[in-house]
């Protein structure tokens, strides 16, 4: 299926590893020109090279912390009029809410709510004027099913989700769609880091912890970032203009409901 994306321009945030990288690779495979971001320049350059080698796409880098004004300005300077924006950043730390102070919450809100809102604000009117835009926010399965130890993630992402629900309906008539992708467990550094404490409690390795988690999933496995990228490409495709303000759960069926 031709997604109609050849020659489109995308900013993919936090894309040197994991789910962001999966989205970047998949978009590049459809002939999208990319600007990818990440804080570590070396890792980002290496990923850009891997994507170029795999897809022959034009890939430029905008190193920086996307949760800062400077990081966002760098991404927008490299691609001032994107057709596609993939919002992503690292997730907040796990812990007990009794230990979180105001500044911890502000950092979580900045990363997982206010940064994607700032980037949408910067690009959405241009997308509307050009009559095409696709925005995908990487959030979390925790928006539907809260994870007790990830309280800041649960809260900040729910705030973003509420905002997107309203904005998506304001821009849809311009062929600009905004949707959220909600990852369950995908095999990335973040999953490994989040499995460390549970592995220690259980007295086994991180790999054993991830295997145990995989066995509890209806699919018997955890997700592959390439699968996540494929879903992202579909939401960005020319054919997806009627998918508006949705929250698509990619969790192998872990959320147990008749209707998700
Ligand atoms: P990951 O494998 O740790 O990769 C994170 C990527 O984001 C790296 O490229 C990292 O590069 C970049 N990054 C992190 N913070 C950044 C910042 N402030 N500015 C720019 N780039 C930044 O994580 P992931 O698993 O792909 O997770 C992506 C998002 O999905 C996170 O918000 C995570 O909480 C959420 N999520 C993941 C899962 C899962 O199972 N993997 C499940 C639910 C939700 P640098 O470190 O060099 O900046």
pLDDT in tens for each of the 260 residues of the chain? 999 999 999 999 999 999 999 999 999 999 999 999 999 999 999 999 999 999 999 999 999 999 999 999 999 999 999 999 999 999 999 999 999 999 999 999 999 999 999 999 999 999 999 999 999 999 999 999 999 999 999 999 999 999 999 999 999 999 999 999 999 999 999 999 989 988 999 999 999 999 999 999 999 999 999 999 999 999 999 999 999 999 999 999 999 999 87
Q: Mutate which of 11, 19, 138 to test ligand 1's pocket (most atoms within 8 Å of Cβ)?
A: 19
Q: 18 CA distance to ligand 1 centroid (A)?
A: 6
Does residue 92 have its Cβ closer than 6 Å to ligand 1?
no
pLDDT for the residue 96: 96
Does residue 89 have its Cβ closer than 6 Å to ligand 1?
yes
Q: Mutate which of 36, 38, 255 to test ligand 1's pocket (most atoms within 8 Å of Cβ)?
A: 38
For the CA of 138, the nearest atom of ligand 1: 30
Nearest CA to ligand 1 atom 8: 17
**Which residue's entry shows tokens 């054919």?**
239
For the CA of 188, the nearest atom of ligand 1: 2
Does residue 19 have its Cβ closer than 6 Å to ligand 1?
yes
pLDDT for the residue 75: 98
pLDDT for the residue 157: 98
Does residue 37 have its Cβ closer than 6 Å to ligand 1?
yes
pTM of the model: 0.98
Q: 173 CA distance to ligand 1 centroid (A)?
A: 32
pLDDT for the residue 227: 98
pLDDT for the residue 197: 87
pLDDT for the residue 259: 86
Nearest CA to ligand 1 atom 48: 39
pLDDT for the residue 191: 93
């Amino acid at each position: 299926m031709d997604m109609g994306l050849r020659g489109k321009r995308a900013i993919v945030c936090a894309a040197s590893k994991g789910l962001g990288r999966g989205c970047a690779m998949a978009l590049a495979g459809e002939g999208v020109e990319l600007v990818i971001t990440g804080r570590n320049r070396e890792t980002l350059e290496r990923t850009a090279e891997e994507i170029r080698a795999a897809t022959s796409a034009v890939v430029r880098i905008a190193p920086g912390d996307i949760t800062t004004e400077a990081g966002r300005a760098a991404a927008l300077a490299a691609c001032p009029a994107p057709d596609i924006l993939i919002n992503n950043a690292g997730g907040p730390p796990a812990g007990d809410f009794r230990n979180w102070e105001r500044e911890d919450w502000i950092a979580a809100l900045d990363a997982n709510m206010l940064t994607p809102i700032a980037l949408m604000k910067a690009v959405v009117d241009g997308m509307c004027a050009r009559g095409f835009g696709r925005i995908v926010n990487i959030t979390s399965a925790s928006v539907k099913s809260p994870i007790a130890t990830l309280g800041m993630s649960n809260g900040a992402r729910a705030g973003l989700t509420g905002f997107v629900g309203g904005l998506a309906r304001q821009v849809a008539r311009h062929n600009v769609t905004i949707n959220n992708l909600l990852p369950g467990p995908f095999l990335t550094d973040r999953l490994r880091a989040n499995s460390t404490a549970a592995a220690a409690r259980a007295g086994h390795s991180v790999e054993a912890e991830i295997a145990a988690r995989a066995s509890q999933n209806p699919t018997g496995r955890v997700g592959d970032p390439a699968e996540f990228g494929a879903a992202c490409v579909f939401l960005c495709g020319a054919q997806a203009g009627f998918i508006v303000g949705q929250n698509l759960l990619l969790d192998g069926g872990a959320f147990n409901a008749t209707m998700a």
